[in-house]
Amino acid sequence: MLNGMKILLVGGDARYLEVIERLVRNGAQLYLAGFSEIDIKQTEVSKIDDMLECVETMDAIVLPVAGIDQDGKVEAPYSDKEVKITESLIKKTPNHCVIYTGTASSLLKNMVEAADRKLVTLFSRDDLAIYNSIPTAEGALKLAIENTKETVHGANVLVLGFGRVGMTVARLFSKVGANVTVAVRKKSAHARSFEFGIKSIEVDDLASHTKEADIFINTIPGMVLTKENIVKMKPSALIIDLASKPGGTDFEFAKKQGILTLHALGLPGKTAPKTAGKIIATILVDELSS
């Protein structure tokens, strides 16, 4: 239980409606910024317009999955006004205040360091990333079904990366009948894909395999689907890039080649927000209680 802990929750998509409910259920006193267009009825929740009015008494600040951008802006789809985090705001928090975010930009890291506060990036936890990979993979499958003219069953699917998200994506597409190949670098990843019964290739050998694939799903946060690879793709190929910005695809060149490319960010919040919200809330409560 959070025993009346004062938490400032700043922005967030549909997932954070579930987070709000779970935090209140666990005994938190919530202050919401960036939720002006949402009707909140719980007495333990207060909506605020100016974060400076309450930040000096907060035990924690919770930011959305994406944290802040390089201008300090926070994703706030339920607000009619811009929501922004500044270094001066963080410096006004009590010394014990902890900043929680999904991922952290260099700007956020610098702000928190300058304020001498603790920063917790939730998505650095393996358990959260693995749980979150499930709605991510389901969202990728949904996009593949909606954006191809043939069944996923029998399609040649090339998954780039075999980490926490890549494993789940490869397993799901394989289970629905796709011919899945994973592109990896580590010897351990080759061994794990072999154990899964999934074919693997070297990322560096990608160009010699692109002409065979119908669907490309990238999970690697670095440029891997380059011009050299894209130029060899089928005109009907589909690229689904799951990597965080800027992604791992030369999007501009793919567009010139007529290749349909989807930079599918935040899939859990779009395809299964309630489940994804429960996942974030469970991990967040664990962190706040520790």
Residue 263: predicted pLDDT: 97
* Cis? peptide before 246, omega within 30° of 0: yes
Residue 43: predicted pLDDT: 82
Mean predicted confidence (pLDDT) in 236-258: 95
Residues constituting the chain: 290
**268 pLDDT more than 90:** yes
Instruction: Tell which residue, 62, 122, 58, has the closest CA to residue 95.
Output: 58
> Domains of the chain, with CATH numbers?
6-124 (3.40.50.720), 128-269 (3.40.50.720)
Please report which confidence band the pLDDT of residue 51 belongs to, taking 50, 70 and 90 as the band edges.
very high
Distance CA 284, CA 101 (A): 10
Residue 40: predicted pLDDT: 82
Residue 39: predicted pLDDT: 87
pLDDT, tens digit (0-9, with 9 covering 90-100), for 24-42: 999 999 999 999 998 887 8
Mean of the per-residue pLDDT values of the chain: 95
Integer angstrom CA distances of residue 40 from 14, 15, 21, 30, 32: 14, 15, 10, 11, 10
Residue 192: predicted pLDDT: 95
**1 pLDDT more than 90:** no
12 contacts 75 by C-beta, under 8 angstroms: yes
205 contacts 162 by C-beta, under 8 angstroms: no
Mean predicted confidence (pLDDT) in 149-171: 97
Mean predicted confidence (pLDDT) in 253-282: 95
Please report which confidence band the pLDDT of residue 187 belongs to, taking 50, 70 and 90 as the band edges.
very high
More confident residue, 57 or 44: 57
Mean predicted confidence (pLDDT) in 115-121: 98
**244 pLDDT more than 90:** no
Mean predicted confidence (pLDDT) in 76-92: 95
Global pTM? Answer: 0.88
Mean predicted confidence (pLDDT) in 143-156: 98
Please give the structure tokens belonging to residue 41. 């009825």
Report the share of the chain in percent with pLDDT over 90. Answer: 93
Among left, alpha and beta (phi > 0; psi -120 to 50; other), residue 197 is left
**222 pLDDT more than 90:** yes
More confident residue, 39 or 114: 114
Instruction: Tell which residue, 141, 197, 147, 218, has the closest CA to residue 172.
Output: 141
The type of residue at 101 is: T
Please report which confidence band the pLDDT of residue 88 belongs to, taking 50, 70 and 90 as the band edges.
very high
Residue 24: predicted pLDDT: 95
**115 pLDDT more than 90:** yes
Mean predicted confidence (pLDDT) in 43-62: 94
